[in-house]
Amino acid sequence: MENKLFYDKKTGWHRISDTDEAAMHAYAEGYKAFLDEAKTERDAVKWLTTVAEEKGFSAYVRGMDVHPGDKYYKINRDKGIILFVIGRNGMKHGINLSAAHLDAPRIDIRTIPLYEDNGMALFKTHYYGGIKKYQWTAMPLELRGVVCRVTDEGVQSIDVRIGDKPGDPLFVISDLLIHLATDQMGKTLHKGISAEDMNVLIGSKPSKSDMETSDKIKLWVMEFLNQEYGITEEDFLSAELSCVPAFKACDIGFDRSFVGGYGHDDRVCSYPAATALFDLEDIPEKTAMTILVDKEEIGSQGVTGMQSQFFDTLVGDLCRADGTLFDECMERSTCLSADVCNAFDPNYPSVSEKRNDARANCGVALVKYTGSRGKSGSSDATAELMAKMRHCFNKNGILWQTGQLGKVDQGGGGTVAMFMANRNIDTVDCGVPVLCMHAPFEVIAKLDLFAAYNAFKAFYTMQ
Ligand code: MN
Ligand code: MN
């Protein structure tokens, strides 16, 4: 007799059909292409805008007359994007909303970055997000971002992207050779690499110019950048340049069941959240929306983060056009805070709670609460909302599980969930389990990625 009294976390491999497995691998190919293309939030917004337009979405402008089935996007300063499909009930019954982030840990180039030292030219950096600094040395890096020049006509943005085209040069942060690392090896992992030593090697060739300076190598770099992009050193003051890992996303394992790559956190949630919305076949009852934001990795503050009023302003505009009270729309909305959680790692079982942590291949994970030291900093979803999502996922045959962030008092973390919940929106975290989270090369299971896509699709049409 089947035991229906016990809850069992099951791997999706026991129930997947050959057709679904083929669909899963095909979906992962699209995702890998997205990972390679969109390594910064600006890249991601560009990609999402292009695909959204192909899928029939158009730019929303305040005051527009909107109708059920209309598909729109609104871009926040090129670093965030909200995509939505107007439901049959407009804004009146609230929104089914997913919120994911497009930023990922990386190495930002400092405001005044360029200098020459002992025959080499380097960039000063300031790391972005929570990283283990030693993981980012002695590996190839690309340079991506934007430099804003000030011209007589106004501000001119110049895209910089070096490293992803065949034959492009790459960059590197050096690490100490093991032969001279006696002192370094005695330090803790935390102190082994100091942030001020994470300078990026960018050249060593002196300029032949007779311009007066002792920094001829720095001069060569500026001559090159001036020729290539028309910029001077002062233009760095109005730039956002980042070094990101240069390797491409790839399959992992003999069976190709995993994807390895940079920035799964949180592209492995933003990609399914967006593509599920693109692929909605029927007009949903409630308005379906995904908000993809910047700055989650440093606290969600700022004009492009989840705490920004950008989201509220858009919802306010839509409610006004619809004759719906803004507060009423908020309290009737449901949000899946689409962010990754940790996957149980057999190499590090001691920090995990094997009953409660998510497992790779067991599906998209609903995480009731995050936080640390007694749930501090968590919004803790209600039992009622957990039940509502259980019902939605089970009814639609979604492969899902629950997740938690390791052993109690081992560490912790947070997501954008609390910022949505603070807006009086019922919110729960829901995302893909990740191995080596925040490392330059993270790993996820394809089954879980595909499960997330199906879960978001079911959620957007939830009554
Ligand atoms: Mn995240
Ligand atoms: Mn993160």
290 alpha carbon – ligand 1 mean position (Å): 15
DSSP state of 435: B
405 alpha carbon – ligand 2 mean position (Å): 12
- Model confidence at 372: pLDDT above 90: no
CB atoms within 10 A of CB 232: 11
pLDDT score of 405 = 84
Which residues, 6+ apart, have CB-to-CB distance to 310 below 8 Å? 76, 80, 82, 303, 304
The CA distances from residue 196 to 23, 135, 183, 237, in Å, are 46, 15, 17, 19
265 alpha carbon – ligand 1 mean position (Å): 5
Residue range 13-31, pLDDT digits in tens: 999 999 999 999 999 999 9
CA distance 365 to 9: 11
83 alpha carbon – ligand 1 mean position (Å): 19
Q: Helices (DSSP H) in 120-211: which residue ranges?
A: 182-185, 189-192
327 alpha carbon – ligand 2 mean position (Å): 30
The CA distances from residue 225 to 27, 175, 363, in Å, are 39, 26, 47
List CB-based neighbours of ion ligand 2 within 5 Å: 265
Assess contact for 364 and 271: CB atoms under 8 A: no
Sheet of 200-203: strand order equals 154-162, 141-151, 239-245, 106-117, 120-128, 200-203, 172-173
375 alpha carbon – ligand 1 mean position (Å): 17
267 alpha carbon – ligand 1 mean position (Å): 9
Are the folds of 12-104+262-460 and 106-245 the same? no
Cα 176 from chain centroid (whole Å): 31
239 alpha carbon – ligand 1 mean position (Å): 25
List CB-based neighbours of ion ligand 1 within 5 Å: 265-266, 339
CA distance 307 to 423: 10
341 alpha carbon – ligand 1 mean position (Å): 8
- Model confidence at 135: pLDDT above 90: yes
Q: Helices (DSSP H) in 403-445: which residue ranges?
A: 417-421
103 alpha carbon – ligand 2 mean position (Å): 9
1 alpha carbon – ligand 1 mean position (Å): 41
Cross-strand pairs, 53 = none
CA distance 455 to 398: 6
Percent above pLDDT 70 for the chain: 100
Q: What is the CA radius of gyration of the chain?
A: 23
- pLDDT-derived band at 317, boundaries 50, 70, 90: very high
The CA distances from residue 303 to 93, 224, 300, 425, in Å, are 28, 34, 9, 20
283 alpha carbon – ligand 1 mean position (Å): 30
CB atoms within 10 A of CB 178: 9
Say if residue 357 is preceded by a cis peptide, omega within 30 of 0: no
49 alpha carbon – ligand 2 mean position (Å): 23
Among residues 259, 298, 277, the alpha carbon closest in space to that of 433 is found at 259
Assess contact for 365 and 400: CB atoms under 8 A: yes
19 alpha carbon – ligand 2 mean position (Å): 33
Q: Is 431 helix (H, G, I), strand (E, B) or coil?
A: strand
416 alpha carbon – ligand 1 mean position (Å): 8
- Model confidence at 252: pLDDT above 90: yes
* Helix, strand, coil percentages, rounded to 5, for the chain: 30, 25, 40
Identify the nearest ligand to the CA of 128 by its number.
2
265 alpha carbon – ligand 2 mean position (Å): 5
CA distance 146 to 45: 14
Sorted by where each begins, the domain ranges of the chain are: 12-104+262-460, 106-245
Q: Which CATH architecture has domain 106-245?
A: Roll (2.30)
- pLDDT-derived band at 373, boundaries 50, 70, 90: confident
- pLDDT-derived band at 330, boundaries 50, 70, 90: very high
Class of domain 12-104+262-460: alpha beta
415 alpha carbon – ligand 1 mean position (Å): 6
CA distance 37 to 272: 16
- Model confidence at 357: pLDDT above 90: yes
pLDDT score of 115 = 98
DSSP labels for 74-140? EEETTTEEEEEE--TTTTTT-EEEEEEE----EEEEEEEEEEEETTEEEEEEEEESS--GGGGSSS-
**What mean pLDDT is reported for the chain?**
96
Which residues, 6+ apart, have CB-to-CB distance to 259 below 8 Å? 28, 31, 32, 35, 249, 250, 251, 252, 443, 444, 445, 446, 449
For the ranges 175-179, 410-414, 424-428, which has the lowest average pLDDT?
Answer: 410-414
pTM over cut 0.95: yes
